[in-house]
């Protein structure tokens, strides 16, 4: 974001904060007003983080690694592969 965009964002958040204050005066501290106030505060924190990003050097991106695609067949396995294997789903040994 450019600094002018951040300034505009902070101005809009100030207006939102004012509107939420007016809602709190009118409706009291009900859950909906509390959620709106929390949302505005969270956006303000995020805006501050964006401002800090502009003042710190950005890390270089890690090179992309090509991954090999392994195709797993969907045909049933040979039941002999599982002979004498533990059946963990039933909590014990399966005797055949």
User: Per-residue pLDDT tens for 52-76?
Assistant: 876 666 566 667 777 787 787 888 8
Q: Does residue 7 lie in a domain region?
A: yes
To 5 degrees, how large is the angle CA 71–CA 81–CA 96?
Answer: 145
Task: Count structural domains, the chain.
Answer: 1
Supply the range of the domain harboring residue 35: 3-55
Q: Does residue 46 lie in a domain region?
A: yes
Q: Does residue 81 lie in a domain region?
A: no
pTM over 0.85: no
Q: C-alpha 42: how far from its chain's center? A: 14
Q: Does residue 69 lie in a domain region?
A: no
In the predicted structure, residue 2 carries a pLDDT above the cut 80 = no
Q: How far apart, in whole angstroms, are the C-alpha atoms of residue 86 and residue 89?
A: 9
Which two structure tokens, joined as six digits, stand for 84?
């004498």
How many CA atoms lie within 13 Å of 94's alpha carbon, on the beta-carbon side? 10
User: Per-residue pLDDT tens for 17-56?
Assistant: 999 999 999 999 999 999 999 999 999 999 888 888 766 6
């Amino acid at each position: 974001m450019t600094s002018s965009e951040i300034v505009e964002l902070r101005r809009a958040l100030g207006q939102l904060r004012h509107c939420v204050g007016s809602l709190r005066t009118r409706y009291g501290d009900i859950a909906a007003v509390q959620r709106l106030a929390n949302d505005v505060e969270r956006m303000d924190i995020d805006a501050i983080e964006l401002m800090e990003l502009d003042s710190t050097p950005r890390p270089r991106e890690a090179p992309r690694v090509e991954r090999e695609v392994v195709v797993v067949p969907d045909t049933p396995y040979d039941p002999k592969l599982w002979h004498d294997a533990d059946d963990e789903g039933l909590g014990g040994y399966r005797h055949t």
